[in-house]
Amino acid sequence: MAKLILNRLSKAFETGGRPAVNDVSLEVRDGGFLALLGPSGCGKTTVLRMIAGFEQPTDGSILLGDRVLADAGEMVAPEHRNMAMVFQSYALWPHMSVADNVGYPLKVRGVTGERRSTKIREALAAVRLEAYADRRPADLSGGQRQRVALARCLVTDPDVVLLDEPLANLDRHLRQEMEETFREFHQRSGATMIYVTHDQAEAMALATDVAVMSEGRLLQVASPQEIYARPEGRLVGGLVGQGAIVAWPAASVENRQLDWDVLQQLLSRSHGADCADILIRPQDVEIAGEGVSARVTSVLFEGERYALKLALGDEQVLRAFSRQPVKVGDMVAIIIRSAWRL
């Protein structure tokens, strides 16, 4: 197998407006698990549909190794790409048993008899549904249906598995369970996987690489750890940062990782024109006996801790955690252990 390459890929629909996908270049290594992350309408699904062969690029190209799958002139048909796609809606045949649903792609390819049965058994085992082979989709839970859809895409040994928000219809508890299934599925199948989601926690938990998109453009591609520690720019910081973004006069500061000494100096500077966006995560804000003073504006009880919003000065809002109960309106002293200049 070879790596999947998107080379300056663009897609403009005839309805006009800005391109749905705008000059996106990235490489997905063989056996990698890439999450395409971004808000609704940013172009994730359109990228996925171009990779699958359901849409043709208006510019740029898609390659699997040195084989061109699509560019603005040519397009390899979806059935000749050896890819499988799992949809949010599962798209199972209601009148067929689980085993027949899973075996359907083999039937279409003319694989029959013992070979077909073995493949179906293996695929059902991979998603732990051996005992459900004879049921109909209507007699399964949402999570089990999703597993059938996964098993169905395993039977053809695809080079690339494409998943479009596959967990969007499941409740929170089931989502966590299915995240484990996906990880296991990825390890067992060895397939390259591309996973579209608008949920940053899901992207971080599952993928080996995260690609963040906004308004058709690719903003950053990196490992979950890298993107969490060093988000590039306000949009990525807002999506993956899980913290507050404040504007402080820090544009002239050299380091991007800022500690309390630097932050203290920034706090005492007047707000001129050279403000920079600073990401401050709640776990880096310590409620201490001394420090700068902030007013509690919101308190949310989360069981093991309280999640707070704090007003610092006139405009800036920070988020913090507290083990001790606090009330809206209380004044607290805080130390910011570390922050990241976006």
The nearest distance, CB 175 to ligand ATP, in angstroms, is 16
The nearest distance, CB 209 to ligand ATP, in angstroms, is 18
Q: What is the rounded distance in angstroms from the CA atom of residue 314 to the CA atom of residue 161?
A: 50
Strands 59-64 and 67-71: antiparallel
What is the number of other CB atoms lying within 10 angstroms of the CB of residue 66?
7
Q: Which is nearer to ligand ATP, 198 or 230 (CB)?
A: 198
Q: Which is nearer to ligand ATP, 43 or 224 (CB)?
A: 43
Q: Which is nearer to ligand ATP, 24 or 28 (CB)?
A: 24
Could you give the angle at the alpha carbon of 90 between the alpha carbons of 111 and 3, nearest 5°? 65
The nearest distance, CB 46 to ligand ATP, in angstroms, is 3
Q: Which is nearer to ligand ATP, 15 or 252 (CB)?
A: 15
Which residues of this chain interact with ligand ATP, rule CB under 6 A? Answer: 13, 15, 20, 38, 40-46, 198
Q: What is the rounded distance in angstroms from the CA atom of residue 271 to the CA atom of residue 135?
A: 66
Q: Which is nearer to ligand ATP, 38 or 243 (CB)?
A: 38
Strand partners, 221: 211
Could you give the angle at the alpha carbon of 47 between the alpha carbons of 42 and 52, nearest 5°? 150
The nearest distance, CB 245 to ligand ATP, in angstroms, is 22
The nearest distance, CB 30 to ligand ATP, in angstroms, is 25
The nearest distance, CB 94 to ligand ATP, in angstroms, is 24
Q: Which is nearer to ligand ATP, 192 or 214 (CB)?
A: 214
